[in-house]
Amino acid sequence: MYGAPPLRRLSLLLLLIAAGFALPLVLPQYFLYLGNFLMTFAVLALGLDLLLGWAGQFAFAHIAFFGIGVYATALLQARLGIPFIFGMPMAAMLAGFIGLLIGLPATRLRTVYLALATFAFAEAAQWVFNSWDKVTGGPDGLRIAAPDVFGYKLGTDPTAFPVVTIILAIMIAAAMYLTTSKFGRAMCAIRDSEHVAAASGINVRGTKAWAFAISAVYAGVAGGMYTLFQSFVNPDVFSFHQIVLLLSMIVVGGLGSLPGVLIGVGLLGLLPEIMRTSMRGLLVWQEFVYGVILILAMMFMPRGIWGFVRAWRGQ
């Protein structure tokens, strides 16, 4: 499917935005918090999927760019008084720029080595978040002031919800355009075979580096979204555990497919909540169950839930 994405799909996004304005009127605060959280993770996962599912680059650095986005947005506002509406794009650009800097050398590496190098980068970034006390507040964390969007004070779950939804809709639309563009096809070609891609005139290194940068921009935007509804951040938010969670979301949902990624985020994001509310006694088993789900999904649903659904519908 190439060319502009079909209008039918884009109009679904309008529905999403409408829901973003309507739901805070009816849902209790806790659900709105979950919604904000899941939507932030959805943007993060979309970015990682562009890199992993489309360009085929197995990288672990994503969570570091998320951290850069959160700290940059929060600090631009707190220290320099730059409002969210400018601060978030600036933070996203910063994340993207660092992504490009990392991506240019890193994409020379083959799969497993790329994974290791980016893993090390993510851990080093977390060390910086932990140690650069003067800027990030170190392990004690950083208070995030309530952001201001066109004169409206956000910072609580109901007030942030519509804005978070709008950003998610924009990022989904951007992913739709990206994946159906020439650039999207170039990424797929590289994923399927670098040699064939190079032979057909695709700039392999450039495309990989840009995929890296764009994916980092997504993470930076997600970082901005995080500051809309959270009033506090500390380096634990950017631990290795989170990148594993993200990877599992897109792989369980379905690599390289937009609906799959959203399904994965919803499912694995809600799993701990479901266990907490309906299976209290099983809560201690959470980590174990999580591992079992990952393994079973890899064994029996090679293309994720969405691939499973598609195969089933096709028959």
Q: Are 48 and 244 in contact (CB under 8 A)?
A: no
Q: Taking phi first (over 0 means left), then psi (-120 to 50 degrees means alpha), and beta for anything else, what does residue 2 get?
A: beta
Interface pattern 191-210 for other proteins (x via CB under 8 A): xx------------------
Q: Which stretch, 116-124, 175-183, 224-232, 261-269, contacts other proteins (CB under 8 A)?
A: 116-124
Nearer to other proteins, 30 or 113 (CB): 113
Which has the closest alpha carbon to 265: 282, 284, 277, 252? 252
Torsion, Cα 240 241 243 249, to 10 degrees, reads: 170
3-state SS, residue 152: strand
CB of 128 to other proteins, least distance (A): 9
Is 287 a binder of other proteins (CB under 8 A)? yes
Is 25 a binder of other proteins (CB under 8 A)? no
Is 312 a binder of other proteins (CB under 8 A)? no
Q: Are 162 and 20 in contact (CB under 8 A)?
A: yes
Tokens of 141: 């964390």
Q: Are 157 and 244 in contact (CB under 8 A)?
A: no
Q: Are 227 and 163 in contact (CB under 8 A)?
A: no
3-state SS, residue 245: helix
Nearer to other proteins, 180 or 286 (CB): 286
Q: Which stretch, 36-44, 100-108, 151-159, 225-233, contacts other proteins (CB under 8 A)?
A: 100-108
Tokens of 305: 């839930």
> In the block, which residue shows the tokens 């079992």?
292
Q: How many helices (H) and strands (E) does the chain have?
A: 14, 4
Where are the alpha helices (H) located in 107-181, listed in sequence order?
111-131, 133-136, 157-180
Is 46 a binder of other proteins (CB under 8 A)? no
* Separation of alpha carbons 168 and 221, rounded Å: 9
Positions in 142-161 near other proteins (CB under 8 A): none
CB of 205 to other proteins, least distance (A): 14
Nearer to other proteins, 94 or 251 (CB): 251
Nearer to other proteins, 150 or 300 (CB): 300
Q: Which stretch, 70-78, 206-214, 229-237, 245-253, contacts other proteins (CB under 8 A)?
A: 245-253
The one-letter amino acid at 39: M
CB of 31 to other proteins, least distance (A): 27
Is 215 a binder of other proteins (CB under 8 A)? no
Nearer to other proteins, 76 or 208 (CB): 208
Phi, psi (5° rounding) for residue 126? Answer: -65, -35
Q: Which stretch, 26-34, 154-162, 240-248, 270-278, contacts other proteins (CB under 8 A)?
A: 240-248
Work out which of 12, 14, 124, 199 binds other proteins, going by CB under 8 A.
124
Nearer to other proteins, 93 or 104 (CB): 104
> In the block, which residue shows the tokens 């695709």?
202
Angle at which helices 84-106 and 204-229 cross, to 10°: 150
Is 52 a binder of other proteins (CB under 8 A)? yes
Q: Which parts of this chain interact with other proteins (CB under 8 A)?
A: 52, 56, 58, 105-106, 108-109, 111-113, 115-117, 119-121, 123-124, 127, 131, 191-192, 244, 247-248, 251, 255, 284-295, 298-299, 302-303
